Structure 1
Amino acid sequence: MNEDVQPRGLQWLPEFLRRRILGNRALHQLLENASWLMLERVVNMTIRFFVSVWVVRYLGPEQYGVYSYALSFVGLFTALTTLGLDSIVIRNLASEAWSEGEVLGTAFGLRIGAAVATMGVVAAIIFSVNDQWLTQLAVLIVSGRLVFKSADVFKLWFKSEIKSKYPVWVRNGVVTMDAAIKLVFIFLGLQVLAFVALILVRSTLKAAGTFLMYQMVSEHGRVEWSFRSGAARKMMQDAWPLILAGLSVGVYMKIDQVMLGQMVGESAVGVYATAVKISELWYIIPAAIAGSVFPKVVSSKENASTDVYRERMQAFYDTAALLSYIVIIPVVLSAGPLIRVLFGPEYAEAASILQVHIWAFLFVSLGTAQGKWLIAENYTRFKMLASLFGALVNVGLNLLLIPTYAGLGAAWATLLAQVVAGYVSLAFLKSLWPLLRQISLALISPLRIKSVIRRVRKVVNN
């Protein structure tokens, strides 16, 4: 590629990176795919965040607490719908041993059945643990979105083909429309159930749009899908540890708000959720990068030497950690004014919660990166057990800390659960001690910035 016609946006990169990207078609394709994913996240983040600030201020702590409680309650069970199949589907689509129609048809059928069953589970549990009709109805409405999670198999196809820009167009369009409708709802003075119902509408439009885009883009858009019981058994044999891992992750990511609602009240959930909104705003960064890099990680494992593979993973961990610190430090220092300016004095208690909760981002970033490595190395059962361990720690600490410290106690419980699941657990399996060492080095990456830059330069040049 001639540098005179290089893609716009590369000029700001260091010269050695720019030359390497322009001279490597595969690397350029990978970065283009990652940039589309990041563009989606940035657009979504910007639009949704600022509209959400308006929604939070409009609804107030109690109604916003109902909204957040419903999302968190259903989020606990999302892994039962996705069945831990994301990485398995991407892997199988990239393999010549599987046909596209078989993989997509089987995964879609499995997820549809799981979604219907999960909605029944959600309904049974919410009626047994909560007697507030408004909260019950909100949870039932939100649970409808689980059916449309089945359409994620199309999004996975785009990821496997490194063509993420197409579903990005769909999702950005839906997010923009969703934001506009929320503003109309505020102007009309509608109550919380209108905003809850919009969640279901948004999920429907995303699913339909992604399916239509798959039909338009895929050369095999009219390929005959088939549900194969043998393929289903094989996929579930590989995925079942990831289901339990996903459930565990759902617990230690969402149980805090559910337990706050049960033990303190919806208003406490509303205050806590504003801090979590800012903290989790950044989780898109490691997810987008890791999602795009995963196919190349597998390729690196198969086609490169062990030293090169390890070097690339260390660079990945170091980068994830450095990006986390760049986010965390300013947020900790500005938490008080940030909460007051964005959400108003009603949410002032969220500042101290944010100063604790934001540190979980560091371990989420590293956990996302190492999670890809664990899957590539077939440590899915360990991933399951580590996540389960973290979930148990989170529930236990929530029971201990929420009665005394309310939202601040829930924030500490979430942070410590992330530390346990993503770091401490590695010490229990000797074969993972090299990974523990890599994560430990990443945690002190700001102190070894020169060596990190050298390693990244070496990885890019290779």
Structure 2
Amino acid sequence: MGFIKYFKNTSWLFAEKILRIIVGIFVGIWVARYLGPEQFGLFSYAQSFAGLFTVFATLGLDGIVVRELVKDKNRQNELISTAFWLKVIGAFVALVILVIAVNFTLNDNYTNLLVFIIASATIFQSFNVVDMYFQAKVLSKYVVYANVFSLLISSIIKIVFILNEAPLIAFAWVVLFDSFVLAVGFIVLFLKNSTFQIKNLTFNRSIAVRLLQHSWPLILGGIVISIYTRIDQVMIKEMLGNESVGQYAAAVQLSNAWYFIPVAISMSVFPAIINAKKISEILYYERLQKLYNLMVWVAIVIALFTTFLSDWAVNLLYGGQYNQAGSILAIHIWSIIFGFLGITSEKWLLSENLQLISFYRTFFGVVINIILNFILIPKYGVQGAAFATLITQMSVSYIFDIFNNKTKKMFFMKTKTMFIWRFFKY
């Protein structure tokens, strides 16, 4: 019964992710076509810039709260309430930091307005403590209900806006409204499927201190990851302008769409790899090698086809106005080889309790990416940012491993995947 319960819970989450990817790509491309490179670039920049600071509002609490909810079922109401208020405080602190940060940019008032509208969604994201509650109860189907409802509502609104030729700022309001709808859905489902009452929404200082003592490393990790995934578009805007961001964002949207594959495969087969460790260390690493092989060659096949079809695919999906996105995509798509390896090795690091190494290599990636963007964007334009991403992914997910004794074995295993005859052997 326990296995069935967890399997159904995972299935709900996986189905929601697949739906979100499909709908997100379809509507995202439509929005990009409608807005055009200049406005789509500004919209993408506003989301990226806001994301650099709003990540602080999560306070790294999500996994910690789930763990505490499972461990201490008698204090669930206090945990949920305290985590909620911590997130609300974190959201307002993040907005204050954002107010200060925009003064160091060249943004005009309209750009800053877009940033603040999008960033304000963080306040409603405080209600995702409900997600943590349902995770602890292995009842993620309720979270999926709320997420799917929110996704469909926001997608319909975006389509209506496109058909009625709405201005760019309307799409920023959709981001905020999407968070509001999701928060309402969470509240309704939580009150309906728990014994919690509004009067119990209190703040416990001792619980707050304990949660923050455990979560501060995750706060730092979240900030580093946020910079790692968003800084390229921010730097492109500052160096080249909005249209270049739009060209780059369109290409990245297509390139990153493939990342559901390693997530799905890892989720499916990694439990079997971990179980193999109980039987034999040799079997454990044999299975891990097979997974690395599969990831690399699936990524290589995707990258080859995408490179040859990049211009055609971009023209078909986005139209002729995104005339630079094809060449960007042809470069950026090769980063998925190392990205697929990175996702797999993240699972290995987790199974070996080496999360700190994960933080170090992500921080290393931020430094490398910023330096490369400063060098390559002025010299090669927006294509330089794609090269920077490719080199960064290779450095983080592959080369970094050789410099740490605990991950050196992973470096040699990943190297083996590059030899095609080994793929057929396994």
TM-score (norm. length: structure 1) = 0.81
Counterpart among 223, 247, 258 of residue 247 in structure 1: 223
Which residue type is aligned with residue 232 of structure 2?
D
1:120/1:133 CA distance change after superposition, 3 Å: same
Which runs of structure 2 are paired with 1:73-222 in the superposition (5 Å)?
73-95=49-71, 99-218=75-194, 220-222=195-197
Report what 2:343 is aligned to.
Answer: 368
2:381 match: secondary structure: helix
Report what 2:407 is aligned to.
Answer: 432
**1:273-298, Cα deviation, whole Å (9 max, x unpaired):** 1001111223344456667999x699
Which residue type is aligned with residue 341 of structure 2?
L
Moved more, 228-237 or 208-217: 228-237
How far has the Cα of 1:415 moved from its partner? 2.0
Unaligned runs of 5+ in 1: 1-24, 453-462
CA contact (8 A) 1:130 1:136 kept: no
Which residue type is aligned with residue 139 of structure 2?
K
Question: Hey, what's the Cα distance between the residues in 2 that align with 1:413 and 1:135?
Answer: 26
Question: Hey, what's the Cα distance between the residues in 2 that align with 1:206 and 1:108?
Answer: 15
Question: Hey, what's the Cα distance between the residues in 2 that align with 1:309 and 1:399?
Answer: 42
Structure 2 residue 217 is matched with structure 1 residue 229: no
Name the % identity. Answer: 33
* RMSD of aligned residue pairs (Cα, Å): 3.2
How far has the Cα of 1:362 moved from its partner? 3.3
2:116 match: secondary structure: helix
How far has the Cα of 1:95 moved from its partner? 3.1
1:185/1:400 CA distance change after superposition, 3 Å: same
Report what 1:394 is aligned to.
Answer: 369
Which residue type is aligned with residue 185 of structure 2?
G
Question: Hey, what's the Cα distance between the residues in 2 that align with 1:157 and 1:125?
Answer: 34
Question: Hey, what's the Cα distance between the residues in 1 that align with 2:420 and 2:136?
Answer: 33
Question: Hey, what's the Cα distance between the residues in 1 that align with 2:19 and 2:402?
Answer: 39
Question: Hey, what's the Cα distance between the residues in 2 that align with 1:297 and 1:159?
Answer: 22
CA contact (8 A) 1:162 1:292 kept: no
Structure 2 residue 33 is matched with structure 1 residue 57: yes
Question: Hey, what's the Cα distance between the residues in 1 that align with 2:15 and 2:48?
Answer: 26
1:77 match: secondary structure: helix
Structure 2 residue 405 is matched with structure 1 residue 403: no
Question: Hey, what's the Cα distance between the residues in 1 that align with 2:274 and 2:212?
Answer: 23
Which residue type is aligned with residue 95 of structure 1?
K
**1:192-236, Cα deviation, whole Å (9 max, x unpaired):** 001111110001111221232233334x54595664434433433
Counterpart among 332, 342, 366 of residue 307 in structure 2: 332
Report what 2:46 is aligned to.
Answer: 70
**1:142-161, Cα deviation, whole Å (9 max, x unpaired):** 11012223222222333344
Question: Hey, what's the Cα distance between the residues in 2 that align with 1:398 and 1:61?
Answer: 20
CA contact (8 A) 2:273 2:288 kept: no
Report what 1:421 is aligned to.
Answer: 396
Moved more, 226-235 or 335-344: 226-235
Report what 1:22 is aligned to.
Answer: none
CA contact (8 A) 1:357 1:411 kept: yes
Question: Hey, what's the Cα distance between the residues in 2 that align with 1:375 and 1:171?
Answer: 27
CA contact (8 A) 1:324 1:361 kept: yes
Report what 1:264 is aligned to.
Answer: 240
1:371/1:168 CA distance change after superposition, 3 Å: same
Question: Hey, what's the Cα distance between the residues in 2 that align with 1:79 and 1:195?
Answer: 21
CA contact (8 A) 2:54 2:95 kept: no
Report what 1:42 is aligned to.
Answer: 18
CA contact (8 A) 1:127 1:136 kept: no
CA contact (8 A) 2:235 2:373 kept: yes
1:407/1:122 CA distance change after superposition, 3 Å: same
Which residue type is aligned with residue 111 of structure 2?
T
Which residue type is aligned with residue 430 of structure 1?
N
Counterpart among 327, 342, 353 of residue 352 in structure 1: 327
Which residue type is aligned with residue 115 of structure 2?
V
Question: Hey, what's the Cα distance between the residues in 1 that align with 2:237 and 2:44?
Answer: 10
How far has the Cα of 1:244 moved from its partner? 2.0
Report what 1:18 is aligned to.
Answer: none
Moved more, 60-69 or 247-256: 247-256
How far has the Cα of 1:30 moved from its partner? 4.1
Which residue type is aligned with residue 166 of structure 1?
Y
CA contact (8 A) 2:274 2:284 kept: no
Question: Hey, what's the Cα distance between the residues in 2 that align with 1:447 and 1:370?
Answer: 22
CA contact (8 A) 2:78 2:204 kept: yes
CA contact (8 A) 1:171 1:206 kept: yes
2:377 match: secondary structure: helix
How far has the Cα of 1:407 moved from its partner? 1.5
1:187/1:373 CA distance change after superposition, 3 Å: same
TM-score (norm. length: structure 2) = 0.87
Which residue type is aligned with residue 397 of structure 1?
L
**1:70-116, Cα deviation, whole Å (9 max, x unpaired):** 01111222431222233333333333588433443333232221111
Question: Hey, what's the Cα distance between the residues in 2 that align with 1:111 and 1:293?
Answer: 34
Which residue type is aligned with residue 123 of structure 1?
V
CA contact (8 A) 1:141 1:200 kept: yes
Question: Hey, what's the Cα distance between the residues in 1 that align with 2:368 and 2:51?
Answer: 19
1:29/1:435 CA distance change after superposition, 3 Å: farther
Which residue type is aligned with residue 389 of structure 2?
T
Question: Hey, what's the Cα distance between the residues in 2 that align with 1:310 and 1:236?
Answer: 36
CA contact (8 A) 2:273 2:287 kept: no
1:188/1:155 CA distance change after superposition, 3 Å: same
Question: Hey, what's the Cα distance between the residues in 2 that align with 1:194 and 1:387?
Answer: 34
Which residue type is aligned with residue 209 of structure 1?
G
Which residue type is aligned with residue 46 of structure 2?
A
Report what 1:8 is aligned to.
Answer: none
